[in-house]
Amino acid sequence: MQQPVYNEQEQFRRNALEQLRELGIDPYPAELYPKNATAKEIVEKYDPEQGNFSSVTIAGRIMGRRIMGAASFIELMDETGRIQVYLNRDQICPGEDKTMYNTVFKKLLDIGDIIGIKGFAFITKTGQTSVHAQQLTILSKCLRVLPIVKEKDGVVFDEFSDPELRYRQRYVDLIVNPENRETFVKRARIIATMRRFFDDQGYLEVETPILQPIPGGASARPFITHHNTLDMDLYMRVANELYLKRLIVGGYPGVYEFAKNFRNEGMDRTHNPEFTCMEIYVAYKDYEWMMDFVEQMLEKVAVAMDGKSTKKIGEHTVDFKGPFRRLPILEAIKEYAGVDIEGMDEEQLRETCKKLNIKTDPSFGAAKLIDAIFGECCEKHLIEPTFITDYPVVTSPLTKRHRSNPDLTERFELFVCGKELANAYSELNDPTDQLDRFRDQLALQKKGDDEAMYIDMDFVRALEFGMPPTSGMGIGIDRLTMFMTGKSTIQEVLFFPQLRPEVYR
Give 12's contacts (C-beta < 8 A, 6+ positions apart): none
pLDDT at residue 480, rounded to an integer: 97
pLDDT band for position 157 (50/70/90)? Answer: low
Distance CA 456, CA 237 (A): 14
Q: Which of 419, 422, 427 is nearest to 462 (CA)?
A: 427
| DSSP annotation of 428 | -
Q: Is the pLDDT of residue 98 over 70?
A: no
Q: What percent of the chain has pLDDT over 70?
A: 96
CATH superfamily assigned to domain 8-146: Nucleic acid-binding proteins (2.40.50.140)
Angle between helix 287-306 and 181-200 (nearest 10): 140
pLDDT band for position 275 (50/70/90)? Answer: very high
Euclidean distance between the first and final Cα of the chain, in Å?
A: 12
pLDDT at residue 367, rounded to an integer: 85
Distance CA 131, CA 117 (A): 8
Mean pLDDT value across the chain: 92
The better pLDDT of the pair 123, 68 is held by: 123
pLDDT at residue 155, rounded to an integer: 63
List the alpha helices (DSSP H) in 307-407.
329-337, 346-355, 366-377
The answer to whether 89 and 107 have CB atoms below 8 angstroms apart is no
Q: Which of 368, 374, 384 is nearest to 323 (CA)?
A: 384
List the alpha helices (DSSP H) in 232-286.
241-249
Task: Quickly name the fold that domain 180-324+384-493 has.
Answer: BirA Bifunctional Protein; domain 2 (3.30.930)
Q: What is the pLDDT of residues 361-419, one digit of tens each?
A: 888 888 889 999 999 999 999 999 999 999 988 888 889 999 999 989 999 999 999 99
| DSSP annotation of 305 | H
Q: What percent of the chain has pLDDT over 90?
A: 78
pLDDT at residue 151, rounded to an integer: 64
pTM over 0.85? The answer is yes
In this structure, of 121-130, 151-160, 221-230, 343-352, the range with the lowest mean pLDDT score is 151-160
pLDDT at residue 171, rounded to an integer: 96
Q: What is the pLDDT of residues 100-142, one digit of tens each?
A: 677 788 889 999 999 999 999 999 999 999 999 999 999 999 9
Q: Is the pLDDT of residue 2 over 70?
A: no
pLDDT at residue 361, rounded to an integer: 87
Q: Is the pLDDT of residue 153 over 70?
A: no
Q: Where are the domains of the chain?
A: 8-146, 180-324+384-493
* Consecutive H or E run containing 441: helix 431-446
Q: What is the pLDDT of residues 339-369, one digit of tens each?
A: 999 989 999 999 999 999 999 988 888 888 9
Distance CA 49, CA 44 (A): 14
Beta partners for residue 62, in sequence order: 76
pLDDT at residue 95, rounded to an integer: 55
Kindly report the CA angle at 328 between 422 and 353, in degrees rounded to 5? 95
pLDDT at residue 449, rounded to an integer: 77
Beta partners for residue 316, in sequence order: 313
List the alpha helices (DSSP H) in 201-280.
241-249
SS3 413: strand
The better pLDDT of the pair 100, 422 is held by: 422
DSSP string for residues in 155-190: EEES----HHHHHHTHHHHHHH-GGGHHHHHHHHHH
pLDDT band for position 266 (50/70/90)? Answer: confident
